[in-house]
A and B are shown apart, each in its own frame.
Chain A
């Protein structure tokens, strides 16, 4: 748990961080966001004391951070930054082992930990263990940077715009991986970004800062539905608010039992799935956007999984011109379906879907 209490930073008489108080519970994914110069990075760097505090307190799992020697504190806190800051003269394995080395772990334990982290980030040890950073792609380097930050199993992970310097495609992949790693490790994460879509994708809590002050601290859904003021509303962006909401909804919240025979009388169910012997969907009869009577062969590109966001599901429906997607489990078996009507139906019935 991290508590910021009246946190203040003054540079040359100017308050760049002004009386920020918030609590992030253990296991939460907190995102600090705001326009450039809002004090989000400064706030983050005060947590591991790369920037000294001018006022207020930071309490990390009960310990005031200023009570600990700075180096000792930083070894308890993972730190990943933009453009990685990997040590160019060390191999991938040496880079990941940075903090365990400083903590003087025995060699076998360090080796095991490096292997474990490389597996977690899908980096093949044979190929990458002894590779130097300049041989890595941007995405690979960033993975190593996050792996290094996690190496000594820190209590908290601080991330300062870690995906700011990679291309949009890689960024999406890294975001998905970060989400998975957060779920796998249950780490408390504080993440700085200026990209609202990234915040909505990753955060369980968003702190929106402006001119050094905390404007709103809320769950992503609440921030979208009940913005504190016009600044928040503007920063989130109104244009595709509906899609942004769907990016925080998951297929398993919307899926219903699959229709295995035609129901001409029930609206939205005048279609049916054909399954193979193993229960995998092979074709869809009806429910085409253009021709309702057509039979469509099921392709992996337009299937959905329960963990997929509804934004992604909707995108697949539109792109592949079907009104309904099959929801499949890891063996590819049909466990449900999610459709255009489903999206509208829940929205209409419950007003706003609960989180």
Chain B
């Protein structure tokens, strides 16, 4: 993308990176579909447990529900966060910048468990309160990075864009957003990774996720359940992080 011809060491590093990412994806899929095949292993590791494999739901269902929670909440965070970041960097919304920044910061300082506690009476149990908590929690990195990313666009570049006759919307779409994209995506990456971890606590209010075996294991003192849930959440977070790293690199322009 940045027009350089990668040298051999860089090609090798890229090939090694591809291999690692591929291996992790295979592992993630294999564990999601084939956790039951590991039952002898867990039985050997935890001989005292009567039931060392979580069976109340398939790990595929839990994984899909988990991804669904993260996807929906992150989508809302990104749409609202980028829109808010854009609004407060336009001339019309500039005065709202301190307010929006501090609101987002407050959203971040609230522990998600506390948000859940407040959201349950309002939105009931399950999916909805979890989405509210995750969205609020994931908003700050998106807003902050949108503002910071737009702030990295050099003043001379903007002056050149105006001086060459671009309209405000053309400057935004052709210059500001592409140049800010790397930083914005870094913010989305943080937000999504946080939410992959945080979504597990949604299970305390009845939302189905990879947190379900985790919570069940903690409540029932079943370490095998905890490991099975945590392993998949951890792997999902690592794979997602590596995918975002690639996406970010795609928007790096030299300097």
Give the B-binding residues of A (Cβ under 8 A): 48, 50, 71-75, 79, 81-89, 91, 98-99, 102, 130-135, 145, 148-149, 158
CA distance A75 to B254 in the complex (A): 28
CA distance A86 to B163 in the complex (A): 12
| Residue in B4, B157, B159, B166 whose CB lies within 8 Å of A102 | B166
Give the size category of B's interface with A: 20 to 34
| Residue in A71, A84, A89, A132 whose CB lies within 8 Å of B179 | A89
CA distance A145 to B164 in the complex (A): 11
CA distance A102 to B167 in the complex (A): 10
| Residue in A50, A71, A131 whose CB lies within 8 Å of B166 | A71
| Residue in B159, B165, B174, B175 whose CB lies within 8 Å of A81 | B159
**Which residues, 120 to 164 on B, are CB-close (under 8 Å) to A?**
154, 156-157, 159-164
The reply to whether A88 and B255 form a contact with Cβ atoms under 8 Å apart is yes
Q: How many pairs of A and B residues are in contact by the CB < 8 Å rule? A: 75
For the complex formed, measure the closest distance between the CB of A117 and the CB atoms of chain B, giving whole angstroms: 14
The reply to whether A50 and B253 form a contact with Cβ atoms under 8 Å apart is no
B2 on interface, CB distance cutoff 8 Å: yes
B50 on interface, CB distance cutoff 8 Å: no
For the complex formed, measure the closest distance between the CB of A202 and the CB atoms of chain B, giving whole angstroms: 20
Contacts A87-B157, A132-B2; is A74 near B255 (CB within 8 Å)? no
The reply to whether B162 and A88 form a contact with Cβ atoms under 8 Å apart is no
Give the A-binding residues of B (Cβ under 8 A): 2-4, 154, 156-157, 159-167, 170, 174-175, 178-179, 253-255
User: CB-CB < 8 A to B154: which residues of A?
Assistant: 85
| Residue in A74, A131, A132, A145 whose CB lies within 8 Å of B253 | A132
Interface of chain A, helix or strand or loop or mixed? mixed
Chain A to chain B contacts (Cβ below 8 Å), 15 pairs: A50-B159, A50-B162, A50-B163, A74-B164, A81-B159, A81-B163, A84-B156, A85-B163, A87-B175, A88-B253, A88-B255, A89-B253, A98-B166, A134-B253, A158-B163
For the complex formed, measure the closest distance between the CB of A98 and the CB atoms of chain B, giving whole angstroms: 5
Contacts A79-B163, A87-B160, A132-B2; is A102 near B170 (CB within 8 Å)? yes
CA distance A74 to B167 in the complex (A): 10
Contacts A81-B156, A87-B157, A89-B179; is A134 near B165 (CB within 8 Å)? no
- Minimum CB distance partner of B178 in chain A: A89
Beyond A81-B163, A83-B156, A87-B161, list 10 extra A-B contacts (CB 8 Å): A81-B156, A81-B160, A84-B160, A87-B175, A88-B254, A89-B179, A99-B164, A102-B170, A131-B3, A132-B2
| Residue in A72, A89, A158 whose CB lies within 8 Å of B165 | A72
CA distance A206 to B159 in the complex (A): 25
For the complex formed, measure the closest distance between the CB of B248 and the CB atoms of chain A, giving whole angstroms: 14
Sorted from nearest, which 7 A-B pairs have the closest CB atoms?
Answer: A85-B160, A134-B254, A79-B163, A74-B165, A75-B165, A85-B156, A132-B3
CA distance A148 to B154 in the complex (A): 18
Contacts A88-B179, A134-B254; is A79 near B164 (CB within 8 Å)? yes
- Minimum CB distance partner of B251 in chain A: A89
Contacts A50-B162, A98-B164, A99-B165; is A135 near B254 (CB within 8 Å)? yes
The reply to whether B165 and A102 form a contact with Cβ atoms under 8 Å apart is yes
In this complex, the member of B160, B166, B179, B255 whose beta carbon has the largest number of chain A beta carbons within 10 angstroms is B160
CA distance A148 to B159 in the complex (A): 14
The reply to whether A71 and B163 form a contact with Cβ atoms under 8 Å apart is no
For the complex formed, measure the closest distance between the CB of A38 and the CB atoms of chain B, giving whole angstroms: 20
